[in-house]
Structure 1
């Protein structure tokens, strides 16, 4: 019978005997959302490891050894350390290749961006046939590079090219566009500019679509003319899009090989050679492959591209803070 206190029945509860040893902690199960995230991340990690990390590792390994074709097959290349890099920098080709790379890259991306921006602003004002004309400007982007480079090579041919034929009609003598050291580099620059304009046009035109028309109306009410609206409204609001466009253009232009190789093969002499063309020529273009110096030149290009990427990230963070 249960005891009572002030008329209330109190039910006695038996206490469990105290245990001398505590129970082991239970393992926490990983949430299903984390497993799902890892499952979605795994293909990307595998892709980066197979197609980026491993080739980069192999390229660095090639540049640190003496890989002749025989050693490449047998796998017994001699370790040289940084000797290949020293030979590349001390080579007579390094100076012209570095100078031509800088000139080819800077002039190309500056002209591509300026012309692409002008066309994007032009097509931003909708008019009849604007869609058709935009599609026509995309033709260079859609053609295979070998076709475009071959077309430019034919157009600039010294003897039967259409450019010289037009110049001769105006009384201008023959110009050796692709065989003269003074004009070979500028010829491939013009061809590369033509190839890169559609990319800049598409990206910048898309950026213009995100700018509200109310801003232009407010600027017009304040008395701003067309140039002031562009400089005070369009250009500042396009800075993020412009930055990524220039960065992608820089990376793409640094590694251009096919256009230069088809048109001039880096010649005459080293007049139009760049670091990318030099790397390709050392590995595949002479009939006597020299893989290690080619890999060293390629790694120098990678360092330049990484430096440009870090500069972009620095400027982006600086802009976000301000």
Structure 2
């Protein structure tokens, strides 16, 4: 009996050892794989993290720090600026330039985005027909987008010149008197809005045209068989199915238009007076445009623009969440 139990125990032991021997390498292999996967994820994420910290987090922190101190050019070099808290924001909000700049920013952004989107959508629907020379014409519409902004702004400044601009020459041929597009407080903001609309149409055209390509053609064929007109197809099919692309297009356009400086600065430098001064132009002028840099108020104005952009970003996230839930 004792010998039998001994043999049984001896037979059972190798089976347990073998099971552990099989399980141990398998566990070690799984652990190694998970570690290698984590390191691979870290390796792929590291460049992105470095990029975000270097080009987003640090500049944002630096901008906030500038707005909370009194940075004169001397203090900026020496690094001994006085901490003033929210005084720069108080000075900005109580400035006589703030409300005109805020109004001009609202008009510049809303009118520009509205016309850019409507004209871009109309062109996208038009080019969806894929007629002859469609690709060539689409390429020509991209020219404003491809030109350097300084070239585009300079061209518009020449065309809108009061004395020898081509637009006044054409208007004069129809008996319209001289219009001071860039030097009149009534027309300066309108002029820069015209230029910005022209520059933004190609972006809207490209994004919305790409969105239209994702709408199945079978849907339009079924609507045609049901007797739907072109307008009914646009209202019931195109516009609703294009809504997600439209929202992101409008959001990107808003963020870009909020920070437009070069077009306005080259054409009018924000004048005459403050008639075409936006918040972005005001920030640039405080920091670099007067010959006496005032970095702290400029940073405060820039941070206000960031807050406005963030607010619209949260609105977009809210709309997207509602759309996913519906």
Question: Which residue of structure 2 aligns with residue 307 of structure 1?
Answer: 311
Question: Which residue of structure 1 aligns with residue 40 of structure 2?
Answer: 36
Question: Which residue of structure 1 aligns with residue 192 of structure 2?
Answer: 188
Question: Which residue of structure 1 aligns with residue 207 of structure 2?
Answer: 203
C-alpha distance in 2, partners of 1:170/1:307? Answer: 46
Please report how far the alpha carbon of residue 170 of structure 1 lies from its aligned counterpart in structure 2 after TM superposition: 1.1
1:222-246 CA deviation, whole Å, 9 max, x = no partner? 1110000000000000001001000
* TM-score using structure 1 length: 0.93
C-alpha distance in 1, partners of 2:252/2:11? Answer: 76
1:157-196 paired onto structure 2 within 5 Å: 157-196=161-200
1:274-318 CA deviation, whole Å, 9 max, x = no partner? 000000000000000000000000000000000010000000000
Question: Which residue of structure 1 aligns with residue 24 of structure 2?
Answer: none
C-alpha distance in 1, partners of 2:130/2:66? Answer: 53
Query: 2:136 pairs with 126, 132, 139, which one?
Result: 132
Please report how far the alpha carbon of residue 2 of structure 1 lies from its aligned counterpart in structure 2 after TM superposition: 6.2
Question: Which residue of structure 1 aligns with residue 296 of structure 2?
Answer: 292
C-alpha distance in 1, partners of 2:306/2:221? Answer: 45
1:245-285 CA deviation, whole Å, 9 max, x = no partner? 00000000000000000000000000000000000000000
Please report how far the alpha carbon of residue 3 of structure 1 lies from its aligned counterpart in structure 2 after TM superposition: 3.0
Please report how far the alpha carbon of residue 220 of structure 1 lies from its aligned counterpart in structure 2 after TM superposition: 1.1
Aligned partners of 1:261 and 1:277 also within 8 Å: yes
Runs of 4+ in structure 1 off by over 2 angstroms are 1-5, 9-16, 26-31
1:86-142 CA deviation, whole Å, 9 max, x = no partner? 000000000000000000000000100000000000000011111110000000000
C-alpha distance in 2, partners of 1:224/1:15? Answer: 80
Aligned partners of 1:2 and 1:12 also within 8 Å: no
Residue 282 of structure 1 pairs with residue 286 of structure 2? yes
C-alpha distance in 2, partners of 1:40/1:310? Answer: 28
CA RMSD of aligned residues (A): 1.8
Work out the number of aligned pairs and report it: 310
Which has a greater percent of helix?
2
Q: Assess, with a 3 A threshold, how the Cα gap between structure 1 residues 219 and 14 changes in structure 2: closer, same or farther.
A: closer
1:161-185 CA deviation, whole Å, 9 max, x = no partner? 0000111111111000000000100
Question: Which residue of structure 2 aligns with residue 88 of structure 1?
Answer: 92
Aligned partners of 1:69 and 1:289 also within 8 Å: yes
Residue 3 of structure 1 pairs with residue 22 of structure 2? no
1:48-59 paired onto structure 2 within 5 Å: 48-59=52-63
Structure 2 residue ranges without an equivalent (≥5): 14-26
Structure 1 residue ranges without an equivalent (≥5): 17-25
Residue 99 of structure 1 pairs with residue 73 of structure 2? no
C-alpha distance in 2, partners of 1:249/1:192? Answer: 11
